[in-house]
Structure 1
Amino acid sequence: MKFTLSWLKTHLATDADLPTILKALTDIGLEVEGVENPAEKLGGFRIARVLTAERHPQADKLQVLTVDHGDGAPLQVVCGAPNARAGLVGVFGMEGAVVPVNGMVLKKTAIRGVESNGMMCSYRELELGEDHEGIIELAADALVGQAYAQWAGLNDPVIDVSVTPNRQDCMGVRGIARDLAAKGLGTLNAIVVPQVQGVGPGPDVRTDDPEGCPAFFARSVRGVTNGQSPEWMARRLKAIGQKPISTLVDITNYIMIDLGRPLHVYDMATLKGGLVARKGKPGEQVQALNGKTYTVDGTMTIIADDEAVHDIGGIMGGVHSGATEATTDVLIECAYFTPERIAITGQTLGLTSDARARFERGVDPAFLDDGLSIATDLVVKLCGGTPSEATRAGFPPALPKELSYLPSQCAELAGVFVSETEQKAILESLGFAVTGQNSIVEYEDGVPVAVEAGWTITVPTWRRDIDGWPDIVEEVVRMVGLEHVPSTPLPRAPGVAKPTATPEQLVERRVRRTAAARGLAEAINWSFLSEKEAAAVGGGDWTLANPISEDLKVMRPSLLPGLLSATRRNMDRGAASVRLFEIGRRYFADKERATVGFVLAGEKAPRSWQGGKAQPFTAFDAKAELIALLTAAGAPAANLQNFGEASAAYHPGQSGTLRLGPKVVLAEYGVLHPTLAKQFGLTGTVVAGEVFPDAIPGRRKAGSLRAPYAPPALQAVKRDFAFVVPDTLEADALVRAVKGADKKAIVDARLFDVFTGPGLEEGTKSLAIEVTLQPGEKSFAQEELDAISAAVVKAAEKLGGTLRG
């Protein structure tokens, strides 16, 4: 919700400065998302007069101007605008000014051999409109040398606040002003509702769908002249990002933002018969004002005449009956649409609008007559014409809601003591009606006894979110200040606390600590991706029907896109080395899977005084991280097998999977595929991996626990073997074969050397394995060692290896 400071002050009489207002907004629950002052980006632009204009000697379409900017001698400026001429008063960009439309810094330069100092500007170049056919022309009496932003009244900060779904009353500037007045920042100005004297009967409207449109009020105004809206209205709309269209349309948009009351105007010349609010019929279509055609059905409320559908009720009007410059007779619609129906219709059609945002939260049902009168009065004042009487079809659900409330409940629920007088003043300033006496003191046998009197509180019609007395406490406390709510710990049960973490949570905790201890920083990303990002990692099974945005449309099938985007952001900001991990969920058609993902990018180790180049990460770095994370998760790391079939997200030949047997995949890793890296804007080598904790075999059942650890009584024996093997043989396969040669005696085997080069035949390599033998009750005899060695050599020979001499 955006509004300007001056717009706010049309409803709020206050002397508070901007920082005070911004802090108060956040304090009362209207979080300030941003503040922008157009005058700041126009600081280098001032009003100037063109003294002379002569043709450029080297270009027919350029002119050489002499410009009086009000500060020192006139300056020479080269300009290509067709309307540049002597005597014109316009906007001049000084040397050093930044042009808003493109960020160009103005400086003295030569254009076709002629010196130019600064720039005469158009509306588009200053981001004040779309006009770029010529430079800005101001009134002849505009003060030369004055800052343009000050002269044009652009020194008006635009405030953007985040309105939560329960605060429908703050979807209008007046509602925000009411909250600030209750906070003590000023006085809420009285709203003036004009008395419109109608001539003749009102238009023919009715509602045949009381569930979707309980009330349909309307007036007609005949003999209007539609054109451009007045400067004050257009300026406010443009300041908050609304494009002025025409006076009639701008009036409806202005009232919607100003008072939170959506309206619609119809060109009566396009209507065939009366208008009716009814349910849509299967197959009916309407071309909306956004240019798209929508098919409605019986779950939706539409506005139609005798021949066609003209409006998707409460969401968007149709092109056919919209007001144009040729419109002379209009029908002003001011209806109430139920929030539930609006939400369902908007979700079904995938259609959003400012009107929908307000109706589905719930607009004030008691403001139909007043809203219609205000709109009619503005139409008559700005466009002329003769208004009719009002037609009121149906009844809005405006019955007042009453609640019982005890002032002591504020301290009871929130822990904040607020006097009864102050509570009543806060509630009344927010529009609540409070009846009932304050607490009194009575005497029993001469002893004073406080007797609390309950209040009856009537909820204002614009506060649909108030349901019970806790909501009343919330209203009081947020105005007093949430910082006064004490931090009170929950009571602790006596005795030793029972564990509450599930086995899965304990595994997640160990993995997180291990990743952090290894130097990885945790990232937390959205579970949603764009369709393009999901397609890059194989595509997602779940697509949201009503996504927050197109960039958050698919439930992620991988953690990599989010981590890669975070990696790019870090590297764009100068990070030399990025090490990120994330613990989250991946989503598939049959289930969701717990996953741990990580990305390593940039330099493995920074340059140092010890010398040496910074090295990029490799697939083996990713494998090392995976083994550490799998060990922390409880996987039998010693039994892991390396396979080469990683997903398409990784580089073929530089990636792999870790498994327990051919079918149980615990993780995949490798160098990122160059195409995927390029798609996410990453350069250099990027490695990544994903661990699948749900694939790790579970714990043994009770009663089948392993025997307690008993350290061996005798010292282990180590023997080294070097085998010449085909260079295509994976070292892991040889290590496993050696370990299996004598499962009773051999307790470990590891690769400690790889050699290729002179002395070996082409297509071979030498792998050196350290074998650890553990004797049992007695030391190994020489014959036993010889037999074990022979078994080791025989196991290697089965893989094509020979003992190296």
Structure 2
Amino acid sequence: MQFPESWLRAFCNPPLTTQQIADTLTMGGLEVEELRPAAPPFSKVVVGEIKEAAQHPNADRLRVCQVDVGQGALLSIVCGAPNARVGIRVPTALVGAELPPGEDGKPFAIKLGKLRGVESQGMLCSARELKLSDDHGGLLELDASAPIGKDIREVLNLDDHVFTLKLTPNLAHALSVYGVARELSALTGAPLQEPKFEPVVARNDAKLKVKVSAPDLCGRFSGRVIRNVDTKAKTPQWMVERLAGCGQRSVTPLVDISNYVMFEFGRPSHIFDLDKIHGGLDVRWAKAGEQLKLLNGNTIEVDEKVGVIADDRQVESLAGIMGGDATAVSDSTKNVYVEAAFWWPESVQGRSRRFNFSTDAGHRFERGVAPDLTVEHIEHITRLVLDICGGEAGPMDDHVVKLPERKPVTLRVARAAKVIGMPVTERQCVDAFARLRLPAKAADGLITVTPPAYRFDLSIEEDLIEEVVRIVGYDHLPTTPPLAPITAKLPPEARRSRFAVRRLLAALGYQETINFSFVEAHWEKDLAGNADPIKLLNPIASQMSVMRSSLLGSLLQVLKFNLDRKAERVRVFELGRVFLRDAGVQTTDTTVRGVRQPMKVAGLAYGDPDGLQWARKAGHGDFYDMKGDVQALLAPLQAEFAPAAHPAMHPGRCAAIRVGGREVGVVGELHPRWRQQWDLPHTPLLFELDLDAVTGREVPAFEPVPRFQPAERDIAVIVSEKVSHDQLLGAIRSADTGGLLRGAMLFDVYKPQQATAGLALNEKSLAVRLTLARSDATLTDEQIEAAVRAVVERVSTQLGGRLRG
């Protein structure tokens, strides 16, 4: 909300400086985001009238103008503006004037000089040269009544200031100059200049047939016909200046009047060309497939959820948002229909965003505009139209369908004191409501307030408490430090932080990425095997239509982005939340019921695992490189790896990761099908784990340093080729060794090329080093041999293996 200070003071003029007014509004809840002068500093620029304009003798595009600036003698000024002509009054910079700084930041001084051999005694100025606007199409033409020789700053009120307010959505009643003045009056106690809307006498009986078919769209519709208006009339300078102070460019008189009343009283209205309306108007919900060309030139298609104003042939206006091009006023308009309505906020909210634009009218209507002054505001618009454009007004036509019910709200004074944090009395509360013009009745510590028609934000007790504290003043609130015990929150020793996980992955050479939780639908189907992902009702982009249930698609997108920029080695990871359907999830928030949102950690490696170095040849990582990274990430927990299938991974190079018997993730190579689809030169390696499994760890337990040297024994066992490494170590660890086995490590695998005396083609030899020890004594040979025999017997009975001779 932007407006000039002079307009605000016309309604409420407290004995405060400009900065004090800004501070008062900010402390009253109406934050002043910016306060700036209406124009930059410049001097010795006056109103001049061009008396003569002759062609320059030495230049085709220049004219020699004789300008009257009230000094008796005319000044000879050379000008190149295309609109320099006799009779117009324009800003004239005299010799010695300083104009606003240019791009170099230095003021521009006007000196006596010559242009193509002709002396120039000043400069005729455009709006851009005075930094009043970006218009550089010609001289700034002033009103014909501007006094010759008078300082232009005084004529155009350029010593004014412009306020820009940053209003929260509940302050719809302050979206006008009068609304802000009403707040300023309440905050300062200064008198408020209340407007008077004198009825305009009807000069004809012309009426337009209007029908309101949708009471849930429009609660009140008022209008009036005005005949024989002059649309070529000029908008008064005072109105142009005030609109400019609100950031609005002057267009045509009728459009300017409509905009002016909207900024003045917060009442959006619309003026139709009456002769372009076919039959009457019908206020209704749109029908699917109907189209409307708007004033901004866009053609939109509407449906049953959008309100419109239609005539007997077509849709003419988007209700509460923007008028249509077909009935727009133009220079040839003679008869108009002025409309002001109350649109239910719910019927306007979100409609502009559907069509990717916003308007001042929609911004106000979706927050709530008072329904009780439509007739009075049309009277005000009518009087402005008659004064500026002439014409004959018809009778007022007011259709009241259904108005919002203003339910009383009760405030408990004791509750207000508790919430505000300082003692407040019943009298203070009643006085605050009186200053805010809110009807209130007090009795026994209870105050009942009936919100006026323009206050859509007062519905619960806390709303009234906010009004009280605004008037009492936030600066009067006592400074009370909070009292709370300071207790250190120690993290459990059996958990490590997410930051520690990030630091560990960074130490392994990975870089963290942060991606959207919204992904493409086909990622979920192809990479996660999720045929029913959680869809977004209003996605920010078509390729972000569903919630992800896996982080792998996001990492592949990062890989593709880097490869397109010639990266040769990519190692990235992400910690993020995924979203899974789970009917067992019940929460107080109904929007997230049936949705489980666990945290995951995923990584991707592409290219040489070690980067370029002299000690080994460059190559690409394999499954075991990624497996080693996963083991390092989970350490000191011991993970088990078992063959598995995953939609995103190679069928023969994918493993499920288990910790403590529970499956916590997956690791493997990307499926060749997806590698081809993503156009990847080499195969990336991926893993994805439940974050809870990664952050969990065993609490360290003290063990004394062993005093006795352990014994090591190497055995080679022959087993079937189908026996896995995990199966072998599982059998060894389950052997009854009397607690002597401390560790077992596979160090050799042998597979014959052809059958031998000791090994068949479907068998293999696995060599394992056993570590045996006791904490209380040195092992004897008999104990060692017994433990080795127990291991061999266990392998034999469980896996069908035998000791290799």
- With normalisation by structure 2, the TM-score equals 0.61
- Tell me if structure 2 keeps the 8 A contact 1:90–1:135: no
Q: Is the 8 Å Cα contact of residues 498 and 695 (structure 2) preserved in structure 1?
A: no
- Residue 351 of structure 2 is matched in structure 1 by 345
The aligned residue for residue 46 of structure 2 is 47
**1:477 equivalent in alignment to 2:469:** yes
Structure 2: distance between partners of 1:4 and 1:513: 55
Matched residue SS, 1:249: helix
Indicate conservation of the 8 Å contact 1:222/1:330, yes or no. yes
8 Å contact from structure 1 (residues 52, 85) kept in 2: yes
- Indicate the percent of aligned positions where both proteins have the same amino acid: 32
1:221 partner SS: strand
Of 168, 183, 186, the residue aligned with 1:164 is: 168
Give the unaligned 5+ runs of structure 2.
507-511, 520-533, 556-572, 582-594, 603-628, 640-656, 659-664, 669-685, 710-741, 746-770, 779-805
SS in 2 for 1:302: strand
The structural deviation recorded for 1:406 is 3.5
For residues 177 and 141 of structure 2, the distance between their equivalents in structure 1, rounded to whole angstroms, comes to 33
How far residue 18 of structure 1 moved from its aligned partner, in angstroms, is 1.1
Q: Distance in 2 between matches of 1:76 and 1:715?
A: 113
Would the alpha carbon gap of residues 206 and 116 (structure 1) be closer, same or farther in structure 2, given more than 3 Å must change? same
Select 1:210's aligned residue among 189, 207, 215: 215
How much does 1:414 deviate?
1.7
Could you tell me which amino acid in structure 2 is paired with residue 11 of structure 1? F
Please give the alpha-carbon distance, in whole angstroms, between the structure 2 residues aligned to 1:96 and 1:413: 54
8 Å Cα contact 1:206-1:216 kept in structure 2: no
Residue in structure 2 matching 1:128, options 132, 149, 156:
132
- Measured in 2, the distance between the counterparts of 1:595 and 1:44 equals 66
Q: Confirm or deny: 8 A CA contact 1:108 1:116 kept in the other structure.
A: no
Q: Kindly indicate whether the alpha-carbon contact (under 8 Å) linking 2:426 and 2:445 is maintained by their aligned counterparts in 1.
A: no
Kindly state the Cα deviation for residue 222 of structure 1 after the two structures are TM-superposed.
1.2
Task: Sort the Cα spacing of 1:434 and 1:327 in 2 relative to 1 into closer, same or farther, 3 A.
Answer: same
Q: Residue type matched to 2:424 in 1?
A: V
Counterpart for residue 367 of structure 1: 373
Q: Distance between the aligned counterparts of 2:20 and 2:514, measured in 1? A: 34
Could you tell me which of 691, 694, 698 is aligned with 1:698? 694
SS of equivalent to 2:39 = helix
Shift of 1:245: 1.3
Change (3 A) 1:466 1:555: same
Q: 2:191 matched to 1:187?
A: yes
Following the alignment from structure 2 to structure 1, what is the Cα–Cα distance between the partners of residues 322 and 364?
A: 12
Does 1:98 find its partner at 2:101? yes
Unmatched segments (≥5 aa) in structure 1: 438-451, 517-521, 530-540, 561-580, 598-628, 640-659, 667-689, 717-743, 748-773, 779-805
Aligned partners of 1:15 and 1:249: how far apart in 2? 35
8 Å Cα contact 2:90-2:140 kept in structure 1: no
The alignment partner of 2:136 has SS state of coil
Structure 1 position 143 matched with structure 2 position 145:
no
The aligned counterpart of 1:787 is none
Alignment of 1:674-693 (within 5 A): none
Shift of the 462–104 alpha-carbon distance from structure 1 to 2, 3 Å rule, reads same
For residue 347 of structure 2, give the secondary structure of its aligned residue in structure 1. helix
Aligned equivalents of 1:106, 1:544: Cα separation in 2? 56
What is the aligned partner in structure 1 of residue 645 from structure 2? none
SS of residue matched to 1:427: helix
Structure with the greater alpha carbon radius of gyration: 2
* Cα shift at 1:103: 6.6
**Alignment partner of 2:320 out of 299, 305, 314:** 314
1:279 match: 285
2:90 and 2:125 in contact (8 A); partners too = no
For the 8 Å contact 1:542–1:588, the answer to whether it is kept is no
Alpha carbons of 1:424 and 1:269: their partners in 2 closer, same or farther (altered >3 Å)? same
Alignment correspondent of 2:701: 708
Query: Is the 2:91–2:124 Cα contact (8 Å) retained in structure 1?
Result: no
Q: CA shift at 1:79, angstroms?
A: 4.8
One-letter identity of the residue aligned with 2:177: V
Which residue of the partner structure matches residue 650 of structure 1? Answer: none
State the secondary structure of the residue aligned to 2:231: coil
Summarize deviations over 1:668-692 as a string: whole Å, max 9, x none.
Answer: xxxxxxxxxxxxxxxxxxxxxx999
Shift of 1:409: 3.0
What is the rounded CA distance, in whole Å, between the counterparts of 1:179 and 1:253 in structure 2?
22
Aligned twin of 1:9: 9
Q: Amino acid of the residue matched to residue 456 of structure 1?
A: T
Aligned counterpart for 1:423 among listed residues 418, 422, 429: 429
Q: Distance in 2 between matches of 1:125 and 1:231?
A: 19
> Is 1:455 aligned with 2:460?
no
CA contact (8 A) 1:46 1:69 kept: no
Summarize deviations over 1:314-339 as a string: whole Å, max 9, x none. Answer: 11100110111221211111111111
How many angstroms apart in 2 are the aligned matches of 1:98 and 1:29? Answer: 36
Deviation at 1:2, TM superposition (A): 0.8
Deviates more, 1:421-430 or 1:131-140: 131-140
* Cα distance change, pair 490–260 in 1 and its aligned pair in 2 (3 A): farther
Q: How many residues align?
A: 616
Alpha-carbon displacement from aligned partner over 1:49-90 (angstroms, at most 9, x marks no partner) = 699999486x5435689999999xx99987533566999862
Aligned runs of 1:444-593 on 2, under 5 Å?
452=444, 454-483=446-475, 484=477, 487=480, 489=482, 507-508=497-498, 545=538
Write the deviation string for residues 555-586 of structure 1: whole angstroms up to 9, x where unpaired. 999999xxxxxxxxxxxxxxxxxxxx999879
Alpha-carbon spacing, 1:129–1:405, altered in 2? closer, same or farther (3 Å): closer
Cα 1:528–1:22 shift into 2, 3 Å = farther
CA contact (8 A) 2:501 2:694 kept: no
Partners of 2:80 and 2:483 lie apart in 1 by 72
Instruction: State how far apart, in whole Å, the 2-side matches of 1:311 and 1:710 are.
Output: 83
- Does the Cα contact within 8 Å between 2:47 and 2:147 map onto a contact in 1? no
Q: Is the 8 A contact 1:264 1:332 kept in 2?
A: yes
Q: Is contact 2:156-2:241 (8 Å) kept?
A: no
Alignment check: 8 A CA contact 1:416 1:486 kept: no
1:237 aligns with 2:230: no
The answer for the alignment partner of 2:407 in structure 1 is 401
